[in-house]
């Protein structure tokens, strides 16, 4: 058996290597960025573990033996799930390993932005001892935070924001209002309403056809003057030129971003002093990554030894296998 890790940001792949050695599987670790590199590495693999590399239809069609594609993370935007289902390959993820970390990180970005920590720290380092140039600094208690999406991370974020005295509202067309209300959160009927009402907005939706470019010029124009945006979801949900314009015009005072498109030293958003950026680090803690690696490879081991995975995202593929087995 051969299992491939296409790419990973972890300190090592020892957890995976050990788990796979126990079933006699060999592990090959790559640093793929492009689909062609994944094809070269994984063509004859029985299982694929992936972090950010693109698992496109072309990749999936080139896999000759693959039974499982395990995404080492929550988001599935880099895996063509219909293509995998079409080839009978089960796709798994690890849906809840970093809910605490990402909500902590989103809150840290929000607090850092509102309390102007970046500017204050920089001014102290350059020999000044004066907060006044960085006013206004609004009180957080009583402010409205709007959560876009009300899944696992948003709910954890809601509890933390409530602990700080914020009023929490959410827009998620796929979650019943009663569930939102049961968390002490105000359900809103549209993104427009959320943008108009909120002092702070935090994004917690997956990237997909409906959410790509969800925040553009129109959306920023609806936000309150001086609002703050936090994005720990995916870069492509926000149109960065529109965000830059909103910051330049003062519509937004700040943005806290764990994800930006094409990170580079001269990225235009780095020019704004009110912007805090981290390098897709929200998921990370020692504990979270150990749990992530253990659970992701656990599903690979299960599938390669004929057991059912714990976190399939296309379970219909497994139903097909079972039906075939049952039917002889």
Ligand X SMILES: NC(=O)c1ccc[n+]([C@@H]2O[C@H](COP(=O)([O-])OP(=O)(O)OC[C@H]3O[C@@H](n4cnc5c(N)ncnc54)[C@H](O)[C@@H]3O)[C@@H](O)[C@H]2O)c1
138 binds ligand X (CB under 6 A): no
Instruction: Give the whole-angstrom CA distance, residue 78 versus residue 92.
Output: 13
229 binds ligand X (CB under 6 A): no
199 binds ligand X (CB under 6 A): no
19 binds ligand X (CB under 6 A): no
305 burial class (0-12, 13-18, 19+ CB within 10 angstroms)?
exposed
2 binds ligand X (CB under 6 A): no
Instruction: Give the whole-angstrom CA distance, residue 76 versus residue 237.
Output: 14
Which one of 80-88, 132-140, 198-206, 304-312 is the stretch in contact with ligand X (CB under 6 A)?
A: 198-206
CB of 132 to ligand X, least distance (A): 34
CB of 94 to ligand X, least distance (A): 9
Written as six digits, the tokens of 293 are 């690696």
172 binds ligand X (CB under 6 A): yes
67 or 256: CB nearest ligand X: 256
Q: Which of 325, 292, 328 is nearest to 88 (CA)?
A: 325
Among 17, 152, 224, 267, binds ligand X (CB under 6 A): 152
CB of 293 to ligand X, least distance (A): 15
**From residue 22, how far is each of 8, 17, 234, 292, 311 by CA, in Å?**
21, 9, 35, 19, 21
Written as six digits, the tokens of 77 are 């935007």
Among 154, 244, 247, 300, binds ligand X (CB under 6 A): 154
Contact assessment for residue 255 and residue 231, using Cβ atoms and an 8 Å cutoff: yes
148 binds ligand X (CB under 6 A): yes
Contact assessment for residue 230 and residue 276, using Cβ atoms and an 8 Å cutoff: no
Which one of 36-44, 63-71, 115-123, 229-237 is the stretch in contact with ligand X (CB under 6 A)?
A: 229-237
Among 5, 45, 84, 98, binds ligand X (CB under 6 A): 98
187 or 309: CB nearest ligand X: 187
**From residue 164, how far is each of 51, 140, 301 by CA, in Å?**
34, 7, 43
Tell which phi-psi region holds residue 149, choosing left (phi > 0), alpha (psi between -120 and 50) or beta.
left
Residues that bind ligand X (CB under 6 A): 74-75, 98, 102, 148-154, 171-175, 204-207, 210-211, 232-234, 258-259, 280, 282-283
């Amino acid at each position: 058996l051969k299992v491939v890790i296409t790419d990973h940001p972890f300190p090592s792949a020892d957890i995976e290597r050990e788990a796979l050695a126990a079933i006699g599987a060999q592990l090959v670790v790559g640093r793929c960025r492009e689909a062609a590199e994944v094809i070269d590495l994984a063509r004859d693999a029985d299982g694929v573990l992936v972090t950010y590399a693109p698992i496109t239809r072309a990749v999936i069609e080139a896999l000759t033996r693959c039974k499982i594609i395990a995404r080492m993370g929550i988001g599935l935007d880099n895996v063509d799930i219909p293509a995998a289902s079409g080839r009978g390959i089960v796709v798994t993820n690890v849906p809840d390993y970093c809910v605490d970390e990402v909500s902590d990180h989103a809150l840290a970005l929000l607090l850092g932005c509102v309390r102007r920590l970046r500017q204050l720290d920089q001014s102290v380092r350059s020999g000044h001892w004066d907060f006044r140039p960085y006013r206004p600094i609004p009180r957080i208690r009583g402010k409205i935070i709007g959560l876009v999406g009300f899944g696992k991370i948003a709910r954890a974020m809601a509890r933390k924001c409530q602990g700080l005295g914020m009023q929490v509202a959410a827009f998620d067309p796929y979650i019943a209002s009663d569930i939102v209300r049961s968390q002490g959160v105000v359900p809103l009927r549209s993104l427009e309403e959320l943008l108009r009402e909120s002092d702070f907005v935090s994004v917690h939706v997956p990237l997909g056809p409906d959410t790509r470019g969800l925040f553009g010029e129109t959306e920023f124009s609806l936000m309150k003057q001086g609002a703050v945006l936090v994005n720990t979801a995916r870069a492509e949900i926000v149109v960065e030129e529109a965000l830059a314009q909103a910051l330049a015009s003062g519509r937004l005072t700040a943005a806290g971003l764990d994800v930006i498109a094409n990170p580079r030293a001269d990225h235009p958003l780095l020019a704004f002093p009110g912007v805090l950026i981290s390098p897709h680090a929200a998921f990370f803690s020692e504990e979270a990554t150990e749990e992530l690696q253990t659970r992701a490879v656990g599903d690979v081991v299960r599938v390669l030894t004929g057991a059912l995975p714990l976190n399939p995202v296309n379970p219909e593929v497994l139903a097909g296998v079972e039906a075939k087995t049952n039917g002889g």
